């Protein structure tokens, strides 16, 4: 794995974990009154920025290399599952936060697994 893809996986892991933490803490912070619903942390633009960055990093470091070489299927399928959960979490009638947190953790896991598999082959 070249150095640039490794950096993308590090950034991908970081943004995915931050996304999961953001989605886990935000409802709690709003309900206890620590963050107003109109605050920057709950602003839709921030959520779009986090999700967009995560999507670009997943595409560049996991999806694109898999589609070119058909190697390392587990990170690919974990990433696809995480993306599906994140994109469809509003369609699920209960547990919205849990579903999106699980999606973020799946994407972070796919980046970590991609890094681990890449280090074992070099």
Q: What are phi and psi of 2, to 5 degrees?
A: -75, 165
Measured distance CA(68)–CA(115) in Å, rounded: 18
CB 79 within 8 A of CB 107: yes
Range of 17's domain?
Answer: 3-121
pLDDT tens-digit profile, the chain (122 residues): 577 777 888 888 888 888 788 778 877 777 777 766 556 666 778 778 888 888 888 898 888 888 888 888 999 999 999 989 888 877 877 777 788 888 888 998 999 898 888 776 65
CB 114 within 8 A of CB 72: yes
Q: Provide the domain count of the chain.
A: 1
């Amino acid at each position: 794995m070249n150095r640039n893809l490794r950096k993308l996986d590090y950034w991908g892991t970081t943004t995915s974990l931050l996304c999961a933490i953001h989605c886990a803490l935000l409802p709690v912070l709003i309900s206890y009154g620590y963050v107003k619903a109109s605050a920057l942390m709950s602003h839709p633009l921030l959520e779009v920025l986090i999700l967009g960055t995560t999507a670009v990093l997943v595409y560049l470091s996991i999806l694109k290399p898999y589609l070119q070489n058909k190697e390392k299927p587990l990170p690919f399928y974990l990433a696809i599952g995480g993306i599906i959960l994140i994109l469809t979490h509003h369609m699920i009638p209960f547990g919205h936060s849990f579903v999106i947190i699980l999606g973020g953790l799946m994407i972070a896991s796919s980046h970590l697994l991609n890094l681990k598999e890449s280090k074992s082959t070099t």
